[in-house]
Amino acid sequence: MAAAKDKSGQGPTDPPAQESLESLLGKLESVVSDLEGGETELEQSLSLYEKGMALAKLCNQRLEAVEQRIAIVTRGPEDTPSLEPFDHQASHEPGAKPKAR
């Protein structure tokens, strides 16, 4: 079964491999906005949903890769890797505790 194509001719899982996280997040925000607008037909809404899920997955993978790089760069005593989680408070809900890993 062929993947649905968007206006650019790319399928929902075909974003360019080197596209920046910010660009991908912008596209995801646009998809969400289109869906929330409620002016799309059912098939187009489904296609947008699939594209949004693919973009969200790719964004999550990029963020996980960045977290890995931070863990590699962060070194403890005697140049041993420190695996303390990066505390990114800006992405937490106010008053919420970070997820345990």
HEC secondary structure over 27-40: HHHHHHHHHHHCCC
Flag whether 95 is in a domain.
Answer: no
Q: Chain-wide mean pLDDT for the chain? A: 76
The stretch 3-23 carries a mean pLDDT of 60
The model carries a pTM of 0.58
Flag whether 101 is in a domain.
Answer: no
What's the pLDDT band for 67 if we cut at 50, 70, 90?
confident
Residues 74 and 82: beta-carbon distance below 8 Å: yes
The stretch 39-45 carries a mean pLDDT of 94
For residue 79, the model assigns a pLDDT of 66
What's the pLDDT band for 80 if we cut at 50, 70, 90?
low
Supply the CATH number for residue 37's domain.
1.10.287
Number of structural domains in the chain: 1
Neighbours of 27 (CB within 10 A): 19
Q: Judge residue 45's burial from the number of C-beta atoms within 10 Å of its C-beta, 0-12 exposed, 13-18 middle, 19 or more buried.
A: middle
Q: Which domain holds residue 54?
A: 21-83
